[in-house]
Structure 1
């Protein structure tokens, strides 16, 4: 009996040790975040083990676990019709509001889910909930793109899938089929989906073959560059879940089909060193010392290497491709972009990516709404339903949909 009690106590202590991590006092519902993070870290450890043993790719294990968790209690709504269709060989899930039939044309949002270009799906419970709510609250048509994922495909395939599906939907005949107003279509996405949304929005602005242009873009804690892994938010939040700095570097390398051994050079900015002339012009477009407000910069210092690792950009030139890193776009391109909403969270390594884009868009004359959450963390907007319910998730989702409703 004493042995059983002792083992139980030991397991409890070990579990508490594994779950507990120090978090900023201002982060929303820290114990819930610790539990969520412990679950995700456990899955990552299994992924590393499976990869090391040659049983499966690390990312494949992560995605299997995420999708298995997300199929709990599938959602349904009498007021939203859902269909899975192909848009020019790209699978999309269409959510059509049915509660308020009207002869008037509907608004529409093309939504791209996050997940580091490697995880997730339009069929995930969290994204299904978000798109159903958007469709119902706005009496709109939501098109969620089921783009292909790493490690099965790499850049530019994810980008191409979203671009092809978006361009297909904007065709006049397709808009008529779904009773969508051609002047009231937006594109949106979170995290890596925000990256794809921003990149597609830029390229569509330059595509003269597309007669119907996007009215809005709405980017949720987007990832927009991979040349500086030491912005103030990367330094401040390097140990804050759920998106740790090394994991973001790995997602980039998986997306761009780079050597995973490059993670360490990325983390110390060796790939954007001063000696690497091919990165010179790009570095100027993400100079956070001039693009960030003082309350974000705090006392952090730029990490700039004089001598770097040239192999990184030689083998992965896509780090400098604006389709992969929209923050690197020229001002002339940014001037063509529509009214924009950007959400950032204080406890997120990507906070400064979004904030720098706000500043660059404003300097280009684009009207921007910057919605910042002091208690938010990366991914929080999709954590608004059981079992991953966070109050900040409900607030961010409510305010995001409200902005779309008022501006689209």
Structure 2
């Protein structure tokens, strides 16, 4: 049989088709590479823990934020509510184990999750920790796997009853509602009858929180301390990379870590503005400290309470310079008085208030815009005569203590968590 061959023009067609496919594939590869480079690659300090893993984590966060902003733009919902849903979709039901009873309940109208260890004989009084989760006052949940897991570990390791508070979030509410929720639940728990119900020793109770939760924990501690009718007092406060002030967004750590994962300076400012129900149009004014300029008499005295030239060690200050505007926008303070409210910025509390506070633990991370908030608070407390333990992690970043399980396991996160738990175990 005679062999057949394809016509020459058929060969040309096949060749042209393959060429088109190659061009399309090349374009797609280029687009994916550009997209990946945009989201993933970000210059990192050599001292940060596991930089490539942190890049991937940050890229995931930024991609989620961009998608939420896009959904908000098209009217599908508020970007923070969508981001909250995405970040807290994995909410756990209260699951008890052989040595830990976990229940969801209500404390005076506020939802809480309670973790009760059962290793002690019945009737033995236990230690207790009121825990307040972070998330920029807008994200996360006491029921999320991250905070459920953390509180389980704390409860088991410290052998303490842990009350994790599910306070209401921005944008549904604003300052001072989240603080009031936490204060209400904590005061309810501190009632003698409730402590007896959970077999808690009234002399061994701590309040703790991370990030925005650290802000709320510090504010609650000050509120309870100043309340003369509060007979049962907190023994400890433990603050993990807390956000403590809104007066200065140009401290050395804000300048040094402007674009660091997981929390940038711009991102922190926006969380603050949303929390205080201040227009995001004022972001630039906050960025350059126009709200605390020298022509606003009210802010001059308060700025002395966070004068980082005297409150920070030389190793933190480096060569950074203070950003103080002579002429700014002092009307912001009149329009938004919460900017100068110590309930929002616990760092600016008076020395008289600080002198009443309990023994304190503060954890800070080098690669975190909030590093100096915690460090200045530690210094002010020490100057007020308070016993303070300040743990600083040179390779740490904001939120690291939340990343201690696969696939977002960081060695520095596990070290920070274990150090925090160890301090509670030894001091509570």
Q: Is the 8 A contact 2:404 2:410 kept in 1?
A: yes
Pairing 1:30–2:30 present: no
Where 1:386 maps in the other structure, the secondary structure is coil
Which runs of structure 2 are paired with 1:313-352 in the superposition (5 Å)? 313-352=333-372
Q: Which runs of 4+ in 1 moved over 4 A?
A: 70-76
Q: Is the 8 A contact 1:46 1:61 kept in 2?
A: no
Partner of 1:225: 245
Give 1:372's match in structure 2, choosing from 392, 401, 405. Answer: 392
How far did residue 288 of structure 1 move? 0.4
Pairing 1:58–2:75 present: no
Which runs of structure 2 are paired with 1:90-239 in the superposition (5 Å)? 90-239=110-259
Please tell me whether Structure 1 or Structure 2 has the larger radius of gyration of its CA atoms.
2
Partner of 1:303: 323
Residues 189-225 of structure 1 show CA distances to partners (whole Å, capped at 9, x for unaligned) of 0000000000010110111211110000000000000
Partner of 1:282: 302
In 2 relative to 1, CA 28–330 (structure 1 residues): closer, same or farther, beyond 3 Å?
same
**TM-score of the two chains, using structure 1 as the length reference:** 0.97
How far did residue 102 of structure 1 move? 4.7
**TM-score of the two chains, using structure 2 as the length reference:** 0.92
Residues 233-264 of structure 1 show CA distances to partners (whole Å, capped at 9, x for unaligned) of 00000011110111111111111010110111
Q: Is the 8 A contact 2:210 2:242 kept in 1?
A: yes
User: Structure 2: where are the runs of 5+ without partners?
Assistant: 1-20
Q: Is the 8 A contact 2:94 2:104 kept in 1?
A: no
Q: Is the 8 A contact 1:74 1:125 kept in 2?
A: no
Where 1:385 maps in the other structure, the secondary structure is coil
Q: Distance in 2 between matches of 1:100 and 1:7?
A: 65
Residues 65-99 of structure 1 show CA distances to partners (whole Å, capped at 9, x for unaligned) of 1112x449997643221111111111110011124
Partner of 1:267: 287
Pairing 1:43–2:64 present: yes
How far did residue 14 of structure 1 move? 2.0
Q: Distance in 1 between matches of 2:306 and 2:154?
A: 33
